[in-house]
Amino acid sequence: MGRLVALEIARLGGNVILWDIDQARLDTVCAEIERATGRSAHGYLCDVSNRTQVYDIAAQVRQATGPVDILVSSAGVVSGAPILELPDEKIERTFGVNTLALFWTAKAFLPDMVARNSGHVVTLASASGYVGVAQLADYSASKWAAVGFEESLRAELRQTAPGVRTTVVCPYYVNTGMFKGVRSRFPRLFPILKEERVVARIVSAIQRNRRRIVMPATVHLVPLMRPLPVALFDAITDFFGVNASMEHFVGRGSERRPGA
């Protein structure tokens, strides 16, 4: 989705900067953007879970192109295994990419936005940030943290720089390949989302300063269920197949996506 967001922003006239940990993929996406839009895209090799790299590369970006107006944090990994089968290193990597990277990139680029009282920070979270899911303990926890990060950041910015906007994106499973093999018991209520549809909503939210994207709309029911007794809450999520959705998960090797 980071690739598609970059393409769409470039089509709208934006100057795009991409970060990735794979140089070949970075070069491919930059070339694709230039072919499709006629605009140059700037790529930087960076592991967004490494704060030293983030700060160093951010300084290079500011020196080369000036302050950043829109930060889209889309890097993500998923392990997709029961917690007792998760190696410690994978748990640490999940939080490094899905959660801590949000802090490092924000600290790198927010100061200029706050100084100008203008800018936009987009946090790609997940519907798993609303409800814990079996075989997604590390992923769900990292996305709950992402939702909390955006909410706290939004509160701080209302006090210090109200012109800087934030958007948190909480989609159900998206057909990017990252969650290949997942299934929905009731696809009309909880469809596997098309990435183009999610990207269109993200770009629209940036243009219209919308604070939150939740897809599909049925995910909004989860907070309303929180006051229910735990046994009833669990029974409802089981009925809708939430905790069976990962049983046939295949994924694509838990690869990371472009980071900003």
d(CA 245, CA 231) in angstroms, rounded, equals 19
Are 90 and 136 in contact by the 8 Å Cβ rule? The answer is no
Alpha carbons 258 and 176: distance in angstroms, whole number: 13
Find all residues with CB under 8 Å of 40, minimum gap 6, and list them. 15, 34
Distances (CA, A) of 255 to 25, 36, 131, 201, 252: 12, 25, 23, 24, 7
192 three-class SS: coil
Alpha carbon 75 to its chain centroid, in Å, reads: 6
User: How many of the other CB atoms lie within 10 Å of CB of 129?
Assistant: 27
Q: How far is CA 94 from CA 138, 150, 233, in A?
A: 7, 18, 27
Annotated catalytic, 139?
yes
Amino acid code (one letter) for 156: E
Please pick, among 44, 55, 130, 139, the residue that the annotation labels catalytic: 139
Judge contact between 70 and 119, C-beta under 8 A: yes
CA distance 176 to 251: 10
Q: So which residues are the catalytic ones?
A: 139
